[in-house]
């Protein structure tokens, strides 16, 4: 079928011939800029609040929270058998997170990587990637379950401690936030890019953070970021490393919620042989690909930019161990100073402590950059709400049970009469009406009596019921006192944080050394003083060799010839003269070493069109004054 071409308005000469106006059947016309602004704002808010930024209370993004919640629903606790990751991803995607399975799996994998999270929340079985940048195996091959520490994130879910909301299609409900008992946002950190804002929170040591929380409770939540820095020394990265920021710089980062952490690898000297020395790199900066790092160091070796460095090998297993082989007379501190400056062995971590904080509406959060005190305060305030709701839930359950037990206690001495009423009744409903009228019971108590198993009519069972009733009343009284005292509830929170610190606390992995005075060095310090020969050809190829026995036999391209051969120390300089009357200088050590054709001289200097070398000279004092052309 042919499509009808739109008519050209210029073909109509009068109003009668003009095309009809567009239909206006109940449609509201909106200007393009208003529609674009409104819809982009909605998109931006969705990305900020529902995708990219973590919640200050549980430290989770929505996708992470949904993964843990789904695994908890499936009873995939630390004591359960491993289950295929494909099953978990499918359930999360179908029930709560209707997005791509690959992105879901990547999130699950990261939550199980000990080099990505300081305290992984998922226990993985199989290939979950490596520090060398290897990707995890496909989800159909790997298995997972919750890590033990995740119990502290999820165990209070069934006690009405947090609000719930409907999932994407309204068929299920999901928690707005997890009732986390650990300060997960600081402990594991977070990284995310939203619209117009981002977050980059480094991980911290659980023992230090819990200690700071306890000190805050003791100080009635009134502590400055500088005071909290007495207990939280600084970030604690899962891959270790060494922080070289000063104490004042770290305090300023925690006061403002932003800044830069300078991180470098740790190293130690190894055994020494007759011909070489050894250095072991024992940890690397966070989020650094170890294989890429080794390649960068190898490039330095191959390019002979650091002649004292002979070789690099990666012999890492579970721990990082990179071997650097040096010349016998090398200074290890000077070699490491060079590598810190010219390789990723030293990097930076930009801190941006932006996260979502709760509002008056329990279903809505807003983004805000927090300092250290605010972040800990929000967590403690959340824990106070969780403990309060947990106690209220327990009290309601106790009151329901006490109510039932009081009914049992009231009728236990009249069991024979109740049995007669039941036998003379026309059914359960009729028996219930008669029992309620005779003993002044309500429907719930009466239904429990009618459902009572026969063995419970034994004489000793009344003692069990009376003991249970006394215990329940005593516990209900205790909870009533707790709910009436803020001090007592804070004591509960303090005790729980102490238990978490004792169970999961460990030693720091990242050293904090403060500012480090590196070895002062110049470029000449890394050049081994030895005699070399620089060769340049007529067509502009240049190379450096240790010795040249016969210039005529040196390797050049077909049709090319050697234009000049200049001897000199590697610390000396050579000059190249061009047909444009320009002189270019370079240190002999910086000329590429090669036994092949060499490198185009244009890669060393920026020549103009048609410019070429016509002569060269070595400025070594021993041979200076001889121009070769």
Catalytic residues, by residue number, are 141
Picking from 106, 114, 110, 168, the residue whose alpha carbon sits closest to that of residue 139 is 106
Residue with tokens 């992995």: 509
Token readout for 182 is: 């650990």
d(CA 532, CA 548): 9
Token readout for 545 is: 């060799």
Across 578-614, b (16+ Cβ under 10 Å) vs e yields beeeeebebbbbbbebeeebbbebeeebebeeebebe
In order, the DSSP letters of 150-204 are GHHHHTTGGGT-S-EEE-TTSSSEEESS---SS-HHHHH-EEEE-SS-EEEEPP-
Length in residues, the chain = 629
Residue with tokens 């040096």: 326
Do 357 and 368 meet the contact criterion of CB atoms below 8 Å apart?
yes
Whole-Å CA distances, 341 to 132, 330, 347: 22, 17, 9
Pairing mode, strands 573-578 and 613-618:
antiparallel
d(CA 151, CA 72): 9
Do 536 and 560 meet the contact criterion of CB atoms below 8 Å apart?
no
d(CA 571, CA 327): 18
Residues 6+ apart with CB under 8 A from 368: 354, 355, 356, 357
d(CA 479, CA 457): 31
Token readout for 72 is: 């908890």
Token readout for 74 is: 């499936």
3 state DSSP class of 535: strand
Phi, psi torsion values for 442, nearest 5 degrees: -95, 180
């Amino acid at each position: 079928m042919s499509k009808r071409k739109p008519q050209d308005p210029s073909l109509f000469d009068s109003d009668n011939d003009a095309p009809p106006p567009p239909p206006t059947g109940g449609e509201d016309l909106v200007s393009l800029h208003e529609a674009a602004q409104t819809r982009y704002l909605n998109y931006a808010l969705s990305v900020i609040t529902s995708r990219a930024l973590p919640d200050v209370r549980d430290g989770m993004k929505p996708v992470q929270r949904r993964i843990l919640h789904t695994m908890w629903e499936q009873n995939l606790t630390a004591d359960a058998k491993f289950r295929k990751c494909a099953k978990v991803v499918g359930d999360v995607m179908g029930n709560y997170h209707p997005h791509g399975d690959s992105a879901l799996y990547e999130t699950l994998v990261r939550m199980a990587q000990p080099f990505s999270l300081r305290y992984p929340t998922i226990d993985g079985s199989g290939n979950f990637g490596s520090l060398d940048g290897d990707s995890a195996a496909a989800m159909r091959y790997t298995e997972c379950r919750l890590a033990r520490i995740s119990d502290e994130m999820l165990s209070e879910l069934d006690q009405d401690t947090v609000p719930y909301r409907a999932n994407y299609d309204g068929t299920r409900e999901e928690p707005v936030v997890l009732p986390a008992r650990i300060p997960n946002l600081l402990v594991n950190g977070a990284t995310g890019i939203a619209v117009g804002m981002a977050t980059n929170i480094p991980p911290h040591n659980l023992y230090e953070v819990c200690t700071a929380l306890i000190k805050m409770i003791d100080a009635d939540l009134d502590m400055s970021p500088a005071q909290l820095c007495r207990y939280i020394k600084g970030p604690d990265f899962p891959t270790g490393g060494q922080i070289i920021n000063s104490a004042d710089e770290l305090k300023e980062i925690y006061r403002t919620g932003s800044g830069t952490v300078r991180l470098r690898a740790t190293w130690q000297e190894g055994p020494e042989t007759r011909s070489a020395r050894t250095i072991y790199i024992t940890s690397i900066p966070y989020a650094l690909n170890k294989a890429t790092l080794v390649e960068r160091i190898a490039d330095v070796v191959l390019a002979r930019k650091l002649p004292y460095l002979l070789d690099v090998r990666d012999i890492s297993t579970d721990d990082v161990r990179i071997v650097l082989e040096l010349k016998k007379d090398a200074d290890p501190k000077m070699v490491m100073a060079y590598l810190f400056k010219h390789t990723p062995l030293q990097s930076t971590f930009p801190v941006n402590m932006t996260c979502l904080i709760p509002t008056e509406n329990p279903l809505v959060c807003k983004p805000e950059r927090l300092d250290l005190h605010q972040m800990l305060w929000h967590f403690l305030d959340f824990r106070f709400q969780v403990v309060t709701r947990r106690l209220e839930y327990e009290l309601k359950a106790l009151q329901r049970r006490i109510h039932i037990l009081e009914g049992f206690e009231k009728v236990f001495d009249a069991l024979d009469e109740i049995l007669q009423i039941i036998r003379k009744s026309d059914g359960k409903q009729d028996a219930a009406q008669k029992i309620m009228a005779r003993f002044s019971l309500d429907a719930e108590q009466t239904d429990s009596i009618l459902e009572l198993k026969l063995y419970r009519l034994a004489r000793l069972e009344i003692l069990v019921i009376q003991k249970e009733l006394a215990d329940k009343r005593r516990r209900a009284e205790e909870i009533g006192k707790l709910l009436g005292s803020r001090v007592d509830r804070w004591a509960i929170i303090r005790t729980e944080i102490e238990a978490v610190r004792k169970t999961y606390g460990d030693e720091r992995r990242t050293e904090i050394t403060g500012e480090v005075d590196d070895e002062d060095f110049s470029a000449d310090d890394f050049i081994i003083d030895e005699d070399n020969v620089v060769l340049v050809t007529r067509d502009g190829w240049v190379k450096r060799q240790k010795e040249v026995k016969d210039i005529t036999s040196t390797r050049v391209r077909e049709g090319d010839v050697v234009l000049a051969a200049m001897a000199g120390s590697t610390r000396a300089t050579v000059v190249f003269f061009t047909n444009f009357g320009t002189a270019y200088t370079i240190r002999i050590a910086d000329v590429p070493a090669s036994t092949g054709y060499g490198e185009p001289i244009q890669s060393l200097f920026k020549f103009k069109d048609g410019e070429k070398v016509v002569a060269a000279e070595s400025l070594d004092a021993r041979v200076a004054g001889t121009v070769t052309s």
